Chains A and B, each alone.
Chain A
């Protein structure tokens, strides 16, 4: 019988939640790597039992863990992320040059075809790749070597490469997003990169429509329509229909267009989800009411989804990597909060229920649809 496996990274460990296709009763294991920050864990599309996890803390740095049995057992693999060549500098908060320094892995993106190939987005922003199951990591330095690199600046959470999207129709095309530099695209499997931010407008930077410097929080793609991208920016929800060449705002009737995650329904490429947050200075839902907003029109027109979600006294946040969808016939939508709740909707957002309520702050949520 088919089912799902939800992979949850938190401030104090990882948790794995499994259910059959009803998504009503859950088995929860964890904390795995107890006491460590787990920024992200994700399974290989080519081998669902192959998982990768980013484990880190301020004392002992970065560890990468790998599982070959769906998260029952784990083994540490390579944790050396060394920038290619002379690292150079980017801008620091005060505008001075600051040497590139590795801090942590924010996001792991396994290859669509090869379980041993996995990409890592790191802070300070760079993209690494391993082709041996995570033992050795090489930087794809054409990204950081893009002419704009010395002008990149950190956002409040650090200068992180947090989103990696592999184009299922073109093995050479990869999109990444960096806070706060913007979106970059390669068409030659990572050798060369260029910014694709035309149409973005950010009031918090000196040149509001600059080519580089936008605080992109998350981008998402439906695999059947890889030229269409959706973006939650610091402020503004955006859409591109030409693989990032140009962007249009689709915030429409959202109560606020600030937020972090954005995701796409597994079977409806124009159905998208965001979680509006009050503002950049108030990272909680407007009015203390936790609402996912869904657009069935690819943006512009949004509806609040509230059934089963707290509609009073709720002041949590939902971080950028903390939303995911499964691909069961009735698409499941999942998100985790900084208050430690993980919610599931087995009916594409119409109704929600908590899987767990009292985890540490949730940093990431991924889901695997199992045969």
Chain B
């Protein structure tokens, strides 16, 4: 079970309270987690990753286990603590704007 924490705007958009829990088959990667998240909440498509390229939007960041995973390859394994649900996978809107 993977725990995913979304920023407030996306929780509101998807009508989510608290964290999302996802059951993942096989290796947990950014791509697999985000695919599962978007399958459950289709309104999130295009808000975290570009529709066409699948790339992370520029002002979105992925953190976990006190590390910035934003620049990891999408098919790289997530940390074991994320894969086991001990630590959440954090989707963060970067600090910017007014």
Q: Kindly list chain A residues whose C-beta atoms are within 8 Å of the C-beta of B51.
A: 79-80, 82
Q: Kindly list chain A residues whose C-beta atoms are within 8 Å of the C-beta of B47.
A: 60-61, 63, 79
Most buried by B among A35, A36, A59, A62: A59
A59 touching B93 in the complex, CB below 8 Å, given contacts A76-B13, A82-B52: yes
**Interface residue A202 (Cβ < 8 Å from any Cβ of B):** no
Closest to A57 in B: B9
Q: Whole-angstrom distance between the alpha carbons of A16 and B29 in the complex?
A: 43
Tell me whether B46 and A36 are in contact (CB under 8 A): no
A36 touching B45 in the complex, CB below 8 Å, given contacts A82-B51, A82-B52: no
Interface residues on B, range: 10 to 19
**Interface residue A58 (Cβ < 8 Å from any Cβ of B):** yes
**Interface residue B81 (Cβ < 8 Å from any Cβ of A):** no
| 0/1 interface trace, chain B 31-60, chain A, CB 8 Å (1 if under) | 000000000000101111001100001011
Q: Shortest Cβ distance from A74 into chain B, in angstroms?
A: 10
Q: Whole-angstrom distance between the alpha carbons of A57 and B51 in the complex?
A: 16
Q: Kindly list chain A residues whose C-beta atoms are within 8 Å of the C-beta of B59.
A: 58-59
Q: Whole-angstrom distance between the alpha carbons of A80 and B12 in the complex?
A: 20
Choice from A34, A35, A59, A79 contacting B45 with Cβ under 8 Å: A79
Choice from A59, A76, A79, A80 contacting B9 with Cβ under 8 Å: A59
| 0/1 interface trace, chain A 65-77, chain B, CB 8 Å (1 if under) | 0000000000010
Choice from B12, B46, B93 contacting A79 with Cβ under 8 Å: B46
Q: Whole-angstrom distance between the alpha carbons of A29 and B47 in the complex?
A: 26
Q: Shortest Cβ distance from B93 into chain A, in angstroms?
A: 4
Q: Shortest Cβ distance from A59 into chain B, in angstroms?
A: 4
Tell me whether A60 and B52 are in contact (CB under 8 A): no
Tell me whether B46 and A62 are in contact (CB under 8 A): yes
| 0/1 interface trace, chain B 63-98, chain A, CB 8 Å (1 if under) | 000000000000000000000000000000110110
Tell me whether B46 and A80 are in contact (CB under 8 A): yes
Tell me whether A59 and B43 are in contact (CB under 8 A): no
Q: Shortest Cβ distance from B48 into chain A, in angstroms?
A: 7
Tell me whether B52 and A59 are in contact (CB under 8 A): no
Q: Shortest Cβ distance from B38 into chain A, in angstroms?
A: 12
Q: Kindly list chain B residues whose C-beta atoms are within 8 Å of the C-beta of A80.
A: 45-46, 51
Q: Whole-angstrom distance between the alpha carbons of A34 and B9 in the complex?
A: 9
A58 touching B45 in the complex, CB below 8 Å, given contacts A76-B13, A82-B51, A82-B52: no
**Interface residue B10 (Cβ < 8 Å from any Cβ of A):** yes
Q: Shortest Cβ distance from A20 into chain B, in angstroms?
A: 32
Q: Kindly list chain B residues whose C-beta atoms are within 8 Å of the C-beta of A58.
A: 59, 96-97
Tell me whether B48 and A60 are in contact (CB under 8 A): yes
| 0/1 interface trace, chain A 40-63, chain B, CB 8 Å (1 if under) | 000000000000000001111111
Q: Kindly list chain B residues whose C-beta atoms are within 8 Å of the C-beta of A57.
A: 9, 97
Closest to B46 in A: A79
Closest to B41 in A: A76
Q: Shortest Cβ distance from B60 into chain A, in angstroms?
A: 6
Query: Which B10-31 residues sit within 8 Å CB-CB of chain A?
Result: 10, 12-13
Q: Kindly list chain A residues whose C-beta atoms are within 8 Å of the C-beta of B97.
A: 57-59
Q: Kindly list chain B residues whose C-beta atoms are within 8 Å of the C-beta of A62.
A: 46
A35 touching B9 in the complex, CB below 8 Å, given contacts A59-B94, A61-B57: yes
Tell me whether A60 and B57 are in contact (CB under 8 A): yes
Closest to B48 in A: A60
Q: Whole-angstrom distance between the alpha carbons of A62 and B94 in the complex?
A: 17
Q: Kindly list chain B residues whose C-beta atoms are within 8 Å of the C-beta of A59.
A: 7, 9, 57, 59-60, 93-94, 96-97
Tell me whether A60 and B60 are in contact (CB under 8 A): yes
Assuming A58-B59, A59-B60, A60-B9, what are 17 further A-B pairs, CB within 8 angstroms?
A34-B12, A36-B9, A57-B97, A58-B96, A58-B97, A59-B93, A59-B94, A60-B7, A60-B10, A60-B13, A62-B46, A63-B13, A63-B47, A76-B13, A80-B45, A80-B51, A82-B52
Q: Which residues of B contact A (CB under 8 A)?
A: 7, 9-10, 12-13, 43, 45-48, 51-52, 57, 59-60, 93-94, 96-97
Top 6 nearest A-B pairs by Cβ distance? A76-B43, A60-B47, A59-B93, A59-B59, A80-B51, A79-B46
